[in-house]
Amino acid sequence: MSQGRRALVRGAALLGLAAVAGCTDKAGAPGRAASPSVPAAAGPGAARAMRPSTYRLRPMAGYGAPHEAPGRLPVRREPILRMDTRDKIIVLSFDDGPDPAYTPGILRTLREYDVRAMFFVCGEQAEWNKDLLREMADDGHVIGNHTWTHPLLTKMSRSAVRYEIERTCEIIDDTTGEPPAWFRAPYGAWNRNVFRVGAELGMEPLAWTVDTNDWMEPGTRSIIRAVRDGAAPGVVVLSHDAGGNRSQSVAALRTYLPELLDSGYRVAVPRRREV
């Protein structure tokens, strides 16, 4: 498990972003795209839900009318690892949820400090916790696609990969009124099929720069230290709000988030420019 999550290529170059997002059957067209930008963050939210599904994984927006005519995306060869900025801007992301045991605490802390984050959700979790999905969207957080069951996509056929990703697109769109613009592969495991299917469905592949390793339950202090040590302009931080006991992740956020803000960082979510 931990080997798969560390399989991410760290030297990936940021190629830029393209057009408006959405789950669509249009194939992504190879080509160059605009550079990524990062806007300001902020947001209100709390949560409740039914129950989490029987989950066994470790690792791995806006609420309104759906987008019209999604733009065609290039098929990338590597995931985006960070935002293209020299400003003190940092992106917080949470994978594997939503989970009624931990997601509400994360949403409360984000609301308290009026910031936005990214939540890469798994479809089987979202199916049981649609109210949490709506709260994420209501608070202005970006909801990304993290597949339906959190499988190792690189070992699957293209049709199976598409089913996992597209089904999750549908539940996000049906629940929040907006399709996801971002996709993150479970375990950080990418290949040509994964990139192609994500592009065909209108999503950009986003990985991470700083792994808190919170899925290993290393202790709250260890998670805080990982964020402190890794903080830098454009960094994307990976944490989890489901897939195990995430109480340390919830507690750590209450410490490192105000520290980041006090040190001059702006917590933001990425925005994709139109070409």
Residues with a catalytic annotation lie at: 95, 240
Query: E strand or H helix at 107, and its extent?
Result: helix 103-112
Phi-psi region of 173 (alpha: psi -120 to 50; beta: other; left: phi over 0): alpha
d(CA 47, CA 99): 10
Residue written as token pair 């454009």:
234
Alpha carbon 237 to its chain centroid, in Å, reads 10
Q: How many angstroms separate the Cα of 125 from the Cα of each of 54, 162, 204, 261?
A: 9, 18, 22, 31
What does DSSP say about strands 204-205 and 236-240: parallel, antiparallel, or unpaired? unpaired
